[in-house]
Chain A
Amino acid sequence: MSKEKLKIALVASAGGHLSQLCKVAKAWSDRSTFWVTTAHIVSGSLGEGSKVYVVGECNREHLSRVIYVLFRCLSIVLKERPNVVISTGAASGCLMCLLGRLLGARIVWLDSITNVERVSLSGRLVRPFADLFLVQWPELAKKYRGAQYVGTIV
């Protein structure tokens, strides 16, 4: 299989989640990728020519927003049909992983460094069906079966 064929969704909320994903995503610039983030203001920072979808912010405290973002993500997944979803979180990353998985994508979760004592809520929801689950604190790799620590992004 040639590199161009595998389609990769890179998903991260604006802010720290996105800056962490950007630091590793450079490694896949020769691959077929598209971005999903939560705010228009950051979409310009993802590089010229990058395909970027902006789904808006949502979190567990605003259910109506979550449902709106869920449908936005569903339309993206149906249109793009990614083979792999790579996400650092947060809620929209979780939704993209879930929907991607339902349509057959492989899932890579990279938990944000801000989660020190336990994996993020989104990460905990994704872990049961993630194909690769990376954390940034060695203690968390011991705490969660299947979680791996190889190093930190920041």
Chain B
Amino acid sequence: MIFLTVGTQFPFDRLIQAVDLLFDEGVMYDDVFGQTGETAYKPRNFEAVASLEKEAFDDRFRGASAIISHAGMGVITMALDHGKSLLVMPRQRKYREVVNNHQVALADKFEALGHILVAQDETQLRVKVEQLRSFVPRPRKADPDVVARQISRFLEVLDGTMDVP
């Protein structure tokens, strides 16, 4: 089962519809369950709900063979943490799906690093979904402790110098 999720902040019908069409075209290789937000488009080929409680969401996520989603940092991080194959289609400003185009560049960067697959539009989705089947994400190494230490050092300087009443 592939888990399709678009978050709950804004609708993203373009992706829901594109995934639905993949079934019509015979290129979707697995069942899909969707978390679609409040959407005007009702998928014909797979089961979908508007939103899921966190626990149900986590269960769907963990149990999925792969994830298809918008290029939100939350879902990208979660997929990398769980070692899940992820295919994203970035939300775009020109379709009023988001306030700026940061998802486009972010997705490209993470794809170049081997962490995710990216379809920049509906046409590319058809090709990328076939790659998703065998895609193995490259794990990501982050250093939050290094970042925290840099800020801590700054705070320690203030501890010594700042005049706090």
Q: Which residues of A contact B (CB under 8 A)?
A: 1-3, 5-8, 15-16, 19-20, 23-28, 31, 59-61, 83-84, 86, 106, 108, 110, 112-117, 121, 131-132, 134, 137, 148, 150-154
Contact = CB atoms under 8 A, between A and B. Distances in A.
Interface of A is mostly: loop
Interface stretch (B17-25, B33-41, B42-50, B101-109): B101-109
Given A86-B151, A150-B150, A5 B74 contact: no
A27 B164 contact: no
A49 B50 CA distance: 33
B59 interface: no
Interface of B is mostly: helix
A59 to B, nearest CB: 6
Interface in B35-83: 72-74, 77
Contacts, number: 106
Nearest to A118: B105
Given A16-B73, A16-B74, A60-B99, A151 B146 contact: yes
A90 to B, nearest CB: 9
B152 A61 contact: no
Contacts of A61: 99
A60 B154 CA distance: 31
Contacts of B74: 15-16, 19
A84 B155 contact: yes
Contact of B142 (A117, A134, A153): A153
Interface string B112-152: 00000000000000000000000000001011111111111
11 contacts: A2-B159, A6-B155, A24-B147, A25-B148, A106-B162, A113-B73, A114-B73, A114-B102, A134-B151, A148-B150, A152-B142
